[in-house]
Structure 1
Amino acid sequence: MRHAIPAWIRITVLFLIIAGALEYFVDSGDNYAFIEYPLLGGVLLVILLFLIAAEVILGAVEKIMFQSLSPEAKERYMAAQQKRMEKYDLKRIYRKLAGTRPISEEGELELDHNYDGIKELDNKLPPWWLYSFYLSIVFAAGYLAYYHILGGESQVDEFEQEMLAAQIALEEYKKTAPDLVDADNVELLTDAGDLEEGAAIYQVNCMACHAADGGGGIGPNLTDEHWILGGGIKNVFHTVSEGGRAGKGMIAWKSTLKPAEIQKVSSYILSLQGTTPANPKEAEGEIWTE
């Protein structure tokens, strides 16, 4: 078998197998392993050189051993080599797979048909085609049994499951991605650091209308239990993001603040509930209860 395959093919196949194994077992993320780890590229180069050297050495050793044989042994060795070469001869393998017969034997295949000198041969179907056909029948039977009798998952079922898994993964990602937060998934922040950042945002953007202590001015009082557009983190987030009542002057801060910043300032506003401002404005709206 070794003498039937050229050396460059043997070396290439062995090298690709080794490189593929290293690529499979080495965790290199989205990059190729030899790119992620340059040292691995050097190792692969050494392996390639070793394979080439081994092929050269084996060939030299084989020649030396052949020259040391007696004439009779050389003859037997050459005969054995010739037999092995015939066994793995590509043309012979092709003829076997194709089921063809030599032209000299076509007379045995002729049918008693003659169309203006054109003769018909009784050739059998190529074995590769015939076995492929049998395999397709077995596959079709298994496919029918799995999907139509045993209730296997169809492509539609697999698609729906993948979409559901993707939706779950997206929701989980949104929980850890602050700038993807919206009025539907926003949560009240209670960490002191988040509230301090929210207070800083409030002082810059909200104080002018709602007073520094949230007691209200142009805008309503933020410290009482009354809310015009609804209380709670979701309603407050939506009001800050989309703006207040039309014609009342409150802009939609979503064009200026990031979702994470809106969440922090909304949480800070809710932390003002129950505090006592210096000059509280008269309550507006309705009492909000969760």
Structure 2
Amino acid sequence: MKRFFPVYVRVPLIFFTCYGLLEYFIDSGDKPAIIAYPSVMLLLALVLLVIIALEIVASASNNIINQLMTPEERAEKERLENLPISQIPFVKNLLQKLTKTKPITSEKEIELDHDYDGIKELDNDLPPWWVYLFYATIIFSVIYLGKYHLFGGDNQFQELEKELAIAQKDIEEYKKTAPDLLTADKVILLTDAGDIAAGKAIYDANCVACHRADGGGGIGPNLADEYWILGGDVKEIFNTIMEGGRDGKGMVAWKQQIKPSDIQKVSSYILSLQGKNPADGKAPEGDKVTNNPASTTVATDSLAVKQASAPDA
């Protein structure tokens, strides 16, 4: 065995096998086990020292045994170690069992009574490895026939459809607990003081340049009155901030700069400005919406048409 796996192959092979097993059985999350748990690195260092120590002991023992051998025994040992791979007893016996080949000296036993211009024909048996493989294909075909043609097993397309359905279900479950994957249809009005305060901080950092600190409007429309260009429901405001305003004259989409969960807080804060009537507020724009932030309704039927064109605040 040492002939096929010299020491410079054995040591790394054993070491990385141990490391792979540790990584497989230790749950370290996204980090490698040796980083998540420093004790694992110490254990691997100990394993490496033990492997090296065993190799040193084995090498020393082999030298001692060689010194105790007679010259004839050493010569026989060297002969066996230098045998071609096919002549090693274990390999030779295995090949014989798999092929059942006859040596040249025994070919007379399987020679057929045919002669073609001096060319003789041998009655060789099929190699056992080929016969066993043929039997295995027959067994496989019977199982395959039974599963997919008699008992209605799923074919590849049906398996794919089921896996996709499971994956989609997993995605939906993940979205329920992943606020940063929030979509407009899942948005609700936040009323908690902490959420409103967080929304105000985001508004002050990003929105006051166009809508003023009090929401009275400047470059952008007045956010404190009851008139909305693209809808005053929390879902509609969320969508407007996410996707941006009307083509050519609306605000930019903020979905690349602000997380969806934070946009929900900003939308809720904007609705908290309703009814405050800031001084010198910008003239109303858009359609009047019922003053009910929790569930606003559009006062005209034109909102749906405007939403289809493009967003704006």
CA–CA separation in structure 1 for the residues paired with 2:278 and 2:57? 90
> What's 1:161 paired with?
162
CA contact (8 A) 1:182 1:259 kept: no
Aligned-pair CA distance for 1:240: 2.3
Q: Which residue of 2 aligns with 1:289?
A: 297
How far residue 126 of structure 1 moved from its aligned partner, in angstroms, is 0.7
Cross-structure match for 1:81: none
Residue 258 of structure 2 aligns with an amino acid whose one-letter code is K
Residue 132 of structure 1 aligns to which amino acid in structure 2?
Answer: L
Superposed CA RMSD? 4.2
1:51 aligns with 2:54: yes
The structural deviation recorded for 1:130 is: 0.8
**Cα distance in 1, alignment partners of residues 21 and 256 from structure 2:** 52
Deviation (angstroms), 1:221? 4.9
Structure 1's 192 and 114: CA in aligned 2 closer, same or farther, altered over 3 A?
Answer: farther
Q: Which amino acid aligns with 1:43?
A: L
Matches of 2:23 and 2:201 in 1, distance apart?
A: 51
Matched, 1:106 2:110: no
Question: Which residue is equivalent to 2:42?
Answer: 39
- Do 2:289 and 2:297's aligned partners in 1 also have CA atoms closer than 8 Å? no
TM superposition shift of 1:41: 2.9
| Superposed displacement of residue 39, structure 1 | 1.6
How many angstroms apart in 2 are the aligned matches of 1:61 and 1:208? 87
The aligned counterpart of 1:97 is 98
Tell me which moved more, 119-128 or 35-44: 35-44
Equivalent residue pairs, number: 269
Checking the alignment, whether the CA contact within 8 Å between 1:221 and 1:282 is kept in structure 2 is: yes
What do residues 202-243 of structure 1 show as CA deviations (whole Å, max 9, x unaligned)? 345544655544455775554455544223222111222334
The structure-2 alpha-carbon separation of the partners of 1:198 and 1:20, relative to structure 1 and needing over 3 Å to count, comes to closer
Which amino acid counterpart does residue 241 of structure 1 have in structure 2? M
Task: Provide the rounded CA distance (Å) in 2 between the counterparts of 1:8 and 1:26.
Answer: 32
* One-letter identity of the residue aligned with 2:126: L
SS of 1:230's equivalent in the other structure is: coil
Q: 1:22 to 1:47 in 2, by over 3 A?
A: farther
Counterparts of residues 22-171 of structure 1 (less than 5 Å):
22-28=22-28, 37-53=40-56, 55-56=58-59, 89-171=90-172
Question: Is there any run of 5+ residues in structure 1 with no aligned partner, and where?
Answer: 68-73, 75-85
Q: Aligned pair in 2 of structure 1 residues 171, 213: CA closer, same or farther (>3 Å)? A: same
1:230 counterpart residue number: 231
**Distance of 1:60 and 1:133 partners within structure 2:** 49
TM-score between the two structures when normalised by the length of structure 2: 0.65
Q: Which moved more, 1:157-166 or 1:32-41?
A: 32-41
Q: Does the aligned pair in 1 maintain the 2:234–2:271 contact within 8 Å?
A: yes
Match of 1:263 in 2: 264
Distance in 1 between residues matched to 2:95 and 2:206, nearest whole Å:
81
Task: Report what 1:183 is aligned to.
Answer: 184
Per-residue Cα deviation, 1:43-71 (whole angstroms, up to 9, x for no partner): 2212312432554576589789999xxxx
CA distance in 2, matches of 1:7, 1:20: 25
Change over 3 Å in CA distance of 1:25–1:121 after alignment to 2: same
CA distance in 1, matches of 2:268, 2:53: 66
Determine if contact 1:33/1:40 at 8 Å carries over to the other structure.
no
Q: Percent identity?
A: 48
The 3-state SS of whatever aligns with 1:120 is strand
Aligned to 1:15: 14
Structure 1 length as normaliser, TM-score?
0.70
Q: Is the 8 A contact 2:243 2:255 kept in 1?
A: no
- Cα separation, 1, equivalents of 2:28 and 2:6: 28
Q: How far apart, in 1, do the equivalents of 2:256 and 2:88 lie?
A: 78
